[in-house]
Structure 1
Amino acid sequence: MNEQQTQHNQNTILIVDDVTDNVDLLRSLLTRQGFSTQSAPNGAIALELAESTLPELVLLDICMPQMDGYQVCEKLKANPATRDIPIIFISALDELPDKIKAFKLGGVDYITKPFHSMEVVARIELHLSLRRLQQQLEQQNERLRAEVRDRRAAETALQLANQELQRLAHLDGLTQVANRRGFDNCLAHEWRRLSREQQPLALVLCDVDCFKRFNDTYGHQAGDQCLRQIAGAIGLATKRPGDLVARYGGEEFAVILPNTPTQGALKVADDIQLAIADLKIAHQGSLVSQFVTMSLGVAVITPLLDVSSIHLVTAADRALYRAKAEGRDRVVLEESIFKGSLPFRHESIVLGQVREPGNE
C-alpha cells in the first residue's frame, strides 16, 4: 500500500452525477448516515477531486455528457493514486451487458435507478468494510515484508561479518598474507584433495637472511616494513589463484603450490628470489649481500591419505636448513617421494651461488 492510499478521507464519498436532483438525494441520504460527501457534475471534475481528496468510495453515474462513467472508471483505475478506491456504479441502465462492462472496468458493485435508500447505504457500508479489511491486510503484509527484508538484511550482514572474521582469523595482521592457521588449513585441504587425485603438492619455505641483524641495524619498524615488502614480492611471484602465501613465523614465509611438479616449484622459487632482489632493500648488517636476500627450501610430494602432511613440511624445512647452512641466498630442493606408506629422501639439489656460511 503506497503513502497516498493511507491518506483516504475517512467516511468521505464522492458522488459523480450530472443530475442535480440525484446528487441532492444521495447527499441527504448519506449525510444522515454519518458520511461526508463531495460531488462532481462531470467526469473531468470527478477525476480532479478523486486525486486531490482521495475519497473512500465513489458513487458513479454512467450516462453523463463528454465523459461517461465507464471512461471515468477507466481513468481512475489507470491512476496509481486512485486505482484502489472502490467504485459503485449507480445508473438507470439495467441491461446485463451494461453491468458486465461496469464490473470488467473495475467496479465493485452496480445499483440501478430508481434505488432503495437502505440498499444504497447497505452496499456502501459493505464495500467500505471490505476496503478497510483489505487495507489492514495490506498493512500487515507490508509489515511482514519489512520484517522479512530486515531479517534477510540482518542475516546477510551476519554472514558477511562471519566471513570477515574467518578471513581475519586466517590473516597475518602485519603482512596481510595468510597466517599460520591459514597455512595449516590450506595444507590439510590440499593434502586430502591431491591424495585423492594423486597429483603433486609443492611447498616452499622462505627465510629472510640475517634478519636479526637487519632489525638491530635499522630498527623494528623498518623490519616490519621490510617484511611487508617481502610478502608483497612473494605474492607477485606466485601467480595462480590456488597458490597460498603465508607468514610461517617471524621472518619466515611459506608458499603452498598445489598441482605443481618439481620444475614448476623451482621456477616459483627462482621468481621469488628475483622479486626480492628487485626490491633492493639495503642491508648493511647482512653476511651475504648489501641488500636483503632470502634462503628457500623446496619440497615436492605426491600425497597419500595414510601419511601425514608433516613429511612435506619436514622435507621443505630440511631443504631450508641446508640453504642457510651452505651460505644463504639460494634455493635448495629436496624432492620426496613415497615408497609404500613411508616417505624417503629422493634427491637434494642446491641452486644459486655457493657462499661460505655465516654465523647466523
Structure 2
Amino acid sequence: MTSAAHPGAAQPHDSGSRRAPHRIGVLHGDGIGTEIVPGTVQIVDAAVQALGATPVEWVELPFGRTALDEFGDAVPPRTLSALAELDAWVLGPHDSASYPEETRGQLTPGGRIRKEFDLYANIRPARALPGVRATSPNMDLVVVRENTEGFYADRNMAVGSGEFMPTPDVALAVGVFTRRACERIAEQAFALAETRRRHVTVVHKTNVLRLTTGLFRDVCMEVAERHPDVEVDHEHIDALTAKLVRSGETFDVLVAENMFGDILSDLTGELAGSLGMAPSINASDTKVMAQAAHGAAPDIAGRGRANPTALLLSVAAMLEHLAAGPGPADHARVGERIRAAVEATIASGVGTADIGGLASTSEFLETVDAHVVRGL
C-alpha cells in the first residue's frame, strides 16, 4: 500500500448504475463495531457514487455476540458459507472476552475466520498523519506479518493448541515455521515494496532462535534474490525496536513472523500517532478482510466517542487490494478517495477525543463524507 496522493475531484455520473455490483460482506461485531462499521459502509457508498465507480452490494452476515445469542455460535456456519462465496468482507471488532465462560479457550471469532480462509498475510501500515501528534512524525512503513503459524499457539496446529501443560507446574509452547509459509509472506512483502520505496527489512532473532527464525530469515533472503530491484537487510527484533523509536522514518517494509509482527505493528502504530487509528487487512491469495487493529472498546460503545479512522483506512486498503486482484479496477480510486478524505478531515482539526479532538463519531464521519463528495 503506497501513501495515497490526493485525487482530484471527479464529477459523478451514472455509468456505475449499469454495472453489476461487487458483493462485499459486512460483519458488524460488538461494542463500537455497531457504530463504525455502518458509518464506514456509508462512506464507501458515497465515494463510489462520487466517482461513478462500480457499485457495492453489501452482504450483512451474523457475527459476534448477537450471533452467539441467536445461533449459539459467534461465527455461525451460514456466515462461513456466505464468506466462502465472497472475495472480500469488513470485519467489525469483537469482544470475545465478555462472551460466556464456555466459549473461553476457543479461537476468537476473528481467528476462526482467518484460519478458515487461510488469511496468511496481515498487512499493517503505520503512517503519521498531519494533524495527529506522533512520536515519529515522518513514519511511513508497513509491517507484513505472517498470520498462520510462528509462536502463536492458537494458529500453528491443525487440531488443538500449540500450548500445553504436561503437569500443573510446567507449561510448554510449540513454535512452527515452515518454508511454505515463510516464502509466501516474503513474496507479499517484496511485491509490496516494489510499489513503495523498494526496501524490505527481514525481522528475526537468530542469535537465540537459530533454527526457527533462522529459517524465516534465510527463506526471506532467498525470495529477495527474485526481486533484485528491492534493497533488503535484516535486523534482530530487539535491536529493531530501538531503531524504530529512534529513526522510524528510515524503514519501508518490515516482514516478520506472527508474534514479532504483532508486537512491531502495535509499536509502529503508536509511534505513528495512535494504535487506535491503525489499519489492517488480512489476505490470502484470493480473499481479503478489512479489520481495524483495535478492539471493540465496550467502555465507550454507544457514546459517540469511537474513532472510525482505523476501519476507514482498513477498508480503503481492502478496496485497493481487491483492485489489484479479483475486484473492480476502479475501486483503487475509491480507496484513494476515502484515504484522502480521512486525512483531510484530520488535518482540518476535526478529530475524536482519542486524538485530542472534540468531534463525535457521527460528526467525524459527516466531515469525511463531505470531503469524499466534494473531492480535493
Place the TM-score, normalised by the shorter chain, in its bin. Answer: under 0.3
More helix by share: 1
- Structure with higher Rg: it is 1
Bigger share in strand? 1
TM-score, normalised to structure 2, is 0.23
Query: What is the TM-score with the length of structure 1 in the denominator?
Result: 0.24
